[in-house]
Structure 1
Amino acid sequence: MNLTEGPRRRVVIHDPTLRDGHHAVRHVLDREQLSRYAAAADAAGVPVVEVGHGNGLGASSLQVGRAALSDDEMLTVVREALPNSKMGVFMLPGWGTARDLSRALDHGADVVRLGTHCTEGDLAERHLGLLRDAGAEAQCLLLMSHMADAGRLAEECRRLAGFGATAVGIFDSSGHYLPPDVTERVSAIVAAVDVPVIFHGHNNLGMAVANSVAAAQAGAGIIDACARGFGAGAGNTQLEVVVPVLERMGFETGIDLYALLDAAELAERELMEAPPAIDSVSLVSGLAGVFSGFKSRVLDIAGREGVDPRDVFFELGRRQAVAGQEDLIVDVALGLRGART
């Protein structure tokens, strides 16, 4: 696909549809769904297809949701469906362990991602060492990155690269950013490291594609995007939109447009009840700066306790809740109910 002429800079597209999308369907994708989408993405030339529980390796649990398949089953199915594309996995230290990483490598994971809170990159040091020793392509991303300024994010990424990360970057975990926020942070990180920089956007404020373009223009070399935006809350950067937009702006992705559109159609038809939408709760989640993956649990608990889910999100934002602190949702809902009586 070549929608513009002249010099073109390569951007690698990383597709977490089969991992981040799990948040939207309570982690219940089955073998056939995983296999069929992975094969379609592979046929389109998507460079990296990521798979797993929404919260990553080792995260299937009562607290954040049981997956329909084990990590081993998911990795086996998707690996078989990717003769050309790389297979990616994601892990949050604390949810997953070194043993989970080793098993993922044994199953043929090509790209291993670690995620930490935006000011706690040190938590990835030991796991990055293990992956470096194994010769793996080990990337690291900072979650809830809007909670830190550009200088702090750049310093964290510089240290992660020093620990052995082959690429570093940021998650807009709550869909809170506007393009100038992304430009400032990505530019600072690009200036601080000599490895590729990653941007992963969420669409709570309708800015995911614009933010991803801003990241690429600021020097990010890896952009995350999901078919139909399939992901937590209001969804992620929409894959089949951001790819032709980047191509039109002069970037090279190496992805076949028609095959990508076919993969997106398959994803909408077979993976989800409906594509993600920016509803009132998702919008408030973005404004409050709260992890998009909290949406389902906030709605469940707010309904049970008879409180407004929007109030729950704003209070979680005031408390600076982060992924893994789902128990706070109950505390907040009970507090709001108590304050009303």
Structure 2
Amino acid sequence: MTTIRINDTTLRDGSHAIRHQYTADQVRRVVRALDDANVEMIEVTHGDGLGGSSFNYGFSHTNDLDLIEVAVDEAKNAQIACLLLPGLGTIDDLKEAHRRGARMVRIATHCTEADISIKHFQAARELGMETGGFLMLSHRISPQELAAQARIMVDAGCQCVFVVDSAGALIMEQASDRVAALVDEIGEEAQVGFHGHQNLSFGVTNSVLAVRAGARQIDGSLAGLGAGAGNSPTEVLAVAFERLGIKHGVNVEKILAAAEDVLKPMVDRLPMMDRGSIVQGQMGVYNSFLLHAERAATRYGVPVADILQEIGRRGYVGGQEDMIIDVAVALAS
């Protein structure tokens, strides 16, 4: 029987959906519920990772390092992880997160830029941290090209490379073929993971196919809370995998309660497959752009879907949030 680990990103990717306004008390309650449900890894940071609280990405309500410390204090069994984007977060940030109790880091780069993660993986391994690598917008390159980027991460010290569908653009075999290519390249040396989004409603399906292709870590978030149309819902993943005989160790009843009774009352708006987020999946637009595009649409009187379509045509990637205003101004004029 296949055994996998379900990672929960409610307190990181979910931060996008609430404009990074998590409080320490909310983090404590979510961690308690996830820990009680036997979730083994809980990711906690600003949506854009360590150092993400900024004018360009959005300011956090509470410093993410403080949130990590709260999460570590609350968790009895779960490992607390953080996310780092090289060029935004620094190795000093990583060392401080480790000092606060984070024991895993996922280092995220654009799918063609794995080489900028090398020193960060090396630093994390020197600290004794578990390491994961995020190859974002994985739909942008072929499975073979993605596998070559995964090789760079593994050689640098990455222990699990994730095919990250940052736009919710991958459909079925487009996801599993990428996972299979990574397994062929690094399968004996590191694990492969999958991080899905729901823009075209394939997040859970893609996760199942990823496991069948050899993935051993799968990401979700409670109630799908996350960027764009949201992530694969952790509670749905747990039930689907249980139905399919895929072992994961998460307590299904408790994870359902965590989503329904703990997370949902905290948030004013859950992600949905609306016109804007569907266009993101259609055009391959980075999911964290959605709320930025909505604000620009309101300010300049341009339909949000038009902004996202133009962003897709221009091929913008994570880190270019400030250029969304340029698109809105150009369309308005």
Which interval holds the TM-score relative to the shorter structure?
over 0.9
CA contact (8 A) 2:223 2:264 kept: no
Q: Helix, strand or coil: the match of 1:9?
A: coil
CA contact (8 A) 1:172 1:201 kept: yes
Q: Which residue of 2 aligns with 1:37?
A: 30
Q: Is the counterpart of residue 122 in structure 1 residue 115 in structure 2? A: yes
Q: Which amino acid aligns with 1:24?
A: A
Q: Distance in 2 between matches of 1:214 and 1:157?
A: 19
Q: Distance in 2 between matches of 1:145 and 1:267?
A: 32
Please give the residue correspondences for 1:166-181 in structure 2 after superposition, counting only pairs within 5 Å: 166-181=159-174
Q: Which of 5, 11, 33 is residue 18 of structure 1 equivalent to?
A: 11
Please give the residue correspondences for 1:1-341 in structure 2 after superposition, counting only pairs within 5 Å: 8-193=1-186, 194=188, 195-338=190-333
How many percent identity over aligned positions?
39
CA contact (8 A) 2:79 2:104 kept: yes
Q: Distance in 1 between matches of 2:302 and 2:162?
A: 36
Q: Which residue of 2 aligns with 1:3?
A: none
Q: Helix, strand or coil: the match of 1:198?
A: strand
Give the superposition deviation at 1:124: 0.2
Q: Which amino acid aligns with 1:335?
A: A
Q: Distance in 1 between matches of 2:332 and 2:270?
A: 32
Q: Distance in 2 between matches of 1:22 and 1:258?
A: 24
CA contact (8 A) 2:230 2:271 kept: yes
Give the superposition deviation at 1:274: 3.5
Q: Distance in 2 between matches of 1:300 and 1:151?
A: 37
Q: Which residue of 2 aligns with 1:4?
A: none
Unaligned runs of 5+ in 1: 1-7
Give the superposition deviation at 1:76: 1.1
Give the superposition deviation at 1:173: 0.3
CA contact (8 A) 2:33 2:262 kept: no
Q: Helix, strand or coil: the match of 1:251?
A: coil
CA contact (8 A) 1:228 1:267 kept: no
Runs of 4+ in 1 over 2 A off after TM superposition: 266-271
Q: Deviations over 1:162-217 (max 9, x none)?
A: 11101112210010010110111000001100211010001000111101111111
Number of residues of Structure 1 aligned to a counterpart in Structure 2: 331
Q: Which amino acid aligns with 2:36?
A: A
Unaligned runs of 5+ in 2: none
